[in-house]
Amino acid sequence: MEYALGAVAGLIFGGLIGQLKNLFIWKKYLRESASSGAEANTVGGLYARAGISYFVNILTLAAAFFLRNAVPFHGLAFLVGTAIALTVMNKVLAASYKRFEDKQKEA
């Protein structure tokens, strides 16, 4: 039960950070690039956002790692749940962008 609670807490923590990261780093960029066409897709902006995204992931996993002894459940399960949630949130962003792009093509 301690492992399950740790994993669920990690999923919640990683999912929250992943959702905020996608909201503040990627959503605006993806909408602008979809509405403006290829001119808005600057390589520098894309690389900068990807670097910031990786840095946020590293900080989130580092926070989960250092909190592993402070949480009242299994710390390793918390860390694994956080990593899984961060990965899943990136896939959710890609899927939602694909749906948004398909709607733009239909209109």
Q: Tens of pLDDT along 59-82?
A: 999 999 998 888 888 889 999 999
pLDDT at 39 over 70: no
Rounded to whole angstroms, what are the CA distances from 81 to 7, 23, 24, 90, 105?
5, 21, 22, 14, 36
Contact yes or no for 10/82 (Cβ under 8 A) = yes
Number of domains making up the chain: 1
- The range of the structural domain enclosing residue 23 comes to 2-106
* Residue that has been written with the tokens 């840095």 in this structure: 55
Predicted structure pTM score: 0.80
**pLDDT at 13 exceeding the cut of 80:** yes
Strands of the chain, DSSP E: none
Looking at the chain, how many residues does it have?
Answer: 107
